[in-house]
Amino acid sequence: MLQIAVYGKGGIGKSTISANISHSLSNRGLKVLQIGCDPKHDSTRLLLGGKVQNTVLKYLREVPKEDRKLDDVLSVGSGGVHCIEAGGPEPGVGCAGRGILTMFDFLDSNGIGDMDHDVRVYDVLGDVVCGGFAVPLRHDYADVVFIVTSGEFMSLYAANNILKGLQNYDNGNPRVGGIILNRRGMDGEEEYVRNFADGVGLPIVSVVERDPLFMQAESMGRTVSEAFPGSGPARAIDRIVERIEGIRDGTVELYHPRPLDDDSMDMVAKGLPLDSACDCGYVRARNPVKDSRSLKSCAGAGAVSYTARIRGAHTIVHGPSSCAYMMCCNSDIVTVHRDLHGDGDSIWDHVTCTDLDDSASVFGGIPALEEAIRHRAEMGDSVVFVVSMCVPGIIGDDITDCCTRMSAETGMRVIPVPVDGIGAGGVVHGREMAIGKVMELVEPCDEKDMGLVNILGDYRVGREFHAHMDSSVEELLSMAGFRINTIYPGKCRLEDVYRMGRAGVAVRSMDNLVFNRNCDIICDRTGSVHMREALPRGMGAIDRWFDEVSEITGRDTSAAKAEVRSRYEAGISGLMPHTKGKRVVVVTRPSGKYRWLFELLEDLGVEVVRTRETTYNRWVMGTELSMSKEEYISGMVESDCRELEPDLVLSDSQSDLHIGYRCTAIGEPHPGLAGIMDYAERLSRMFRVPVIEGWRCA
């Protein structure tokens, strides 16, 4: 007998898929038993004409021990499939996981093993961290495990936890059959799941499309395999069954569980590609991005940070007031409103909250959301974004339906961003979802103006804000024949979003993986050409940027490039008396990009006597050191300084290097000629300051 466990996050569709698998197997002449291991006890409903059968736990609660029989909890469904449901305790009472253990004890002691079944299918809840629900993972109960998932991050997170559970019960034999993708209709869903599947080394056995035939079959109380044989959904089920038959006859291989570690799941949440598995069985991510908030900060905060920056549109945070307060105190949003718009508005003039409290957990939060939307209509808004937090996701508020209804009622554009707090992953994923929604506002434009450019991401939002950098970037763009069309997110109004489709070219304000993905999303919608080069930092980057402008637009930028080069060389020559022959130690981060820095040092005549990477982190080293990060980095650099006696240490470490040598942070220059020249002058000044300030010697 082959025992199959079908696992997945609650609500992912594993019960529907399990019932269809059982029915299809029975149609092929196999004797099948399906056991539902979910407290909501609806696993076998489609096999029983839509009826819900008596559960084992209810039976055990009501029938004395001496009167109990296996036949009382076993029903025969369509195709002759035998059906058993575990059930669960009363809501809020007892432990459902303990109930699963009790059910298996009853079945084992009442002769379930003596029944002549060819296949036994377990339908199991997979996102509850509980030993009871892990019972089918133990070798005695499951020879093969299939994992049902969608492209939602929490579904993939549950899938990874299931693999971890399998690894805990590993007996040395491979038992994973593969992944079943049950589509939810997300953009790029299959790519997200395939990235995860490739990372854990598993095949996607079948892709089950979101098809109305499933709903029609369920309304008939039947499986889609029974109600619509030969249909697309039925063929998707058949692919799973064919794989099961291959496993039974030994022609299809099984796989060992290889779950991802937390850092690699971080990369999955960002939609970034993964490398192959390392020796320990976990996957190491490529090009790790040092954004520790990516999952620790929620997707809701990421979404609000990208919707609240659009003046003329309003953002409603659907959740508790504490969520809105914390995310709107985010320094990036506050800086945008203070430094860029400069109109005296508070962030709270553009963001409101539905202020959900405990009563929403009982009665739902939709009435509060409807009231908030009506209020914004009274205030004269034309576009409102609704960003959902964790509470609406938990209680099941359908904000998409609500926004559709309220759009019709109020005449406003009410756009849902259903991230459900952390439900869509981390802050980076939330921003991507918000960008996708914002792009719905872009007016289509077939005639692209190659003289207009969209700047995606605003370099001015940061710790160091210099107003004169605006003129430097505008001068650079003007020399290349560009006029700024829209800057998003940043100093952006609603009308700027509407006209984004007019620009023929889009350029990132900074060169990093996150901005690159954001730019891809926007250019897919607007049809603009996505420049490979971001706004340039450093003379070499400026040269490459002008060359790409010529390639894209056909404009001759050689004169502009020569003019900028001439001004750069004149500035560098004035600094050379203070920099030529100086010696530096450079401390970099593994994920940083420093081409501009080493080009500048070479042009200034500065010798790099040693480079170091701040490899004190679990992503690179894979082990913990006994000393602190500060001690580790400072110890390396102090040793270098004693040996090499450099004139300056340039460090991109986040820690303060407490050493008795000149040391300054690398940072990153602003784009354009002025940015790199400011940095060069800063280096020149650093070479001239004393190692220890005079006041320290007093």
Q: With respect to residue 417, please indicate whether it lies within any of the assigned structural domains.
A: yes
pLDDT of residue 281: 41
The amino acid present at 614, given as its one-letter code, is T
Token pair listed for 527: 């049809």
When pLDDT is averaged across residues 569-578 and rounded to a whole number, the result is 95
Number of domains in the chain: 4
When pLDDT is averaged across residues 132-142 and rounded to a whole number, the result is 62
Q: With respect to residue 549, please indicate whether it lies within any of the assigned structural domains.
A: no
Q: Domain end: 285, 315, 337, which one? A: 285
Q: Give CA–CA dist 583/174, Å, rounded.
A: 57
Run of H or E residues at 530: strand 529-530
Looking at the fold, whether 490 and 519 belong to one and the same domain comes out as yes
Query: pLDDT grade, residue 491 (50/70/90)?
Result: confident
Domain boundaries, position 403 = 295-440
* 146-168 pLDDT, tens digit each: 999 998 888 888 898 888 888 87
Contacts with 663 (C-beta within 8 Å, 6 or more apart), sequence order: 637, 648, 649, 650, 651, 657
Q: With respect to residue 577, please indicate whether it lies within any of the assigned structural domains.
A: yes
For residue 340, pLDDT beyond 70: no
List residues with catalytic annotation: 9, 14, 40, 127
Q: Measure the CA angle with vertex 304, ends 472 and 186; round to 5°.
A: 105
CATH code of the domain covering residue 390? 3.40.50.1980
Closest CA to 179 of 143, 154, 151, 218: 151
Query: pLDDT grade, residue 130 (50/70/90)?
Result: low
pLDDT of residue 185: 78
Q: With respect to residue 548, please indicate whether it lies within any of the assigned structural domains.
A: no
pLDDT of residue 388: 92
Q: With respect to residue 31, please indicate whether it lies within any of the assigned structural domains.
A: yes
Looking at the fold, whether 194 and 328 belong to one and the same domain comes out as no
Looking at the fold, whether 429 and 462 belong to one and the same domain comes out as no
Query: pLDDT grade, residue 617 (50/70/90)?
Result: very low
Looking at the fold, whether 322 and 363 belong to one and the same domain comes out as yes
* 643-697 pLDDT, tens digit each: 888 988 888 865 545 566 778 888 888 889 998 999 999 999 988 877 655 544 4
When pLDDT is averaged across residues 180-196 and rounded to a whole number, the result is 87
Q: With respect to residue 562, please indicate whether it lies within any of the assigned structural domains.
A: no
Token pair listed for 555: 């404009």
CA 257 → CA 144, 161, 192, 241, 302, distances in Å?
11, 10, 19, 21, 32
Looking at the fold, whether 369 and 457 belong to one and the same domain comes out as no
Looking at the fold, whether 693 and 672 belong to one and the same domain comes out as yes
Looking at the fold, whether 86 and 204 belong to one and the same domain comes out as yes
For residue 624, pLDDT beyond 90: no
CA 330 → CA 71, 308, 323, 334, 566, distances in Å?
61, 11, 11, 6, 41
Q: Could you tell me which residue, 331 or 269, shows the higher pLDDT?
A: 269
For residue 286, pLDDT beyond 70: no
For residue 553, pLDDT beyond 70: yes
Looking at the fold, whether 41 and 91 belong to one and the same domain comes out as yes
CB 249 within 8 A of CB 271: no
Looking at the fold, whether 492 and 436 belong to one and the same domain comes out as no
When pLDDT is averaged across residues 252-280 and rounded to a whole number, the result is 75
CB 523 within 8 A of CB 500: no
Looking at the fold, whether 490 and 609 belong to one and the same domain comes out as no
Q: With respect to residue 557, please indicate whether it lies within any of the assigned structural domains.
A: no
Looking at the fold, whether 232 and 97 belong to one and the same domain comes out as yes
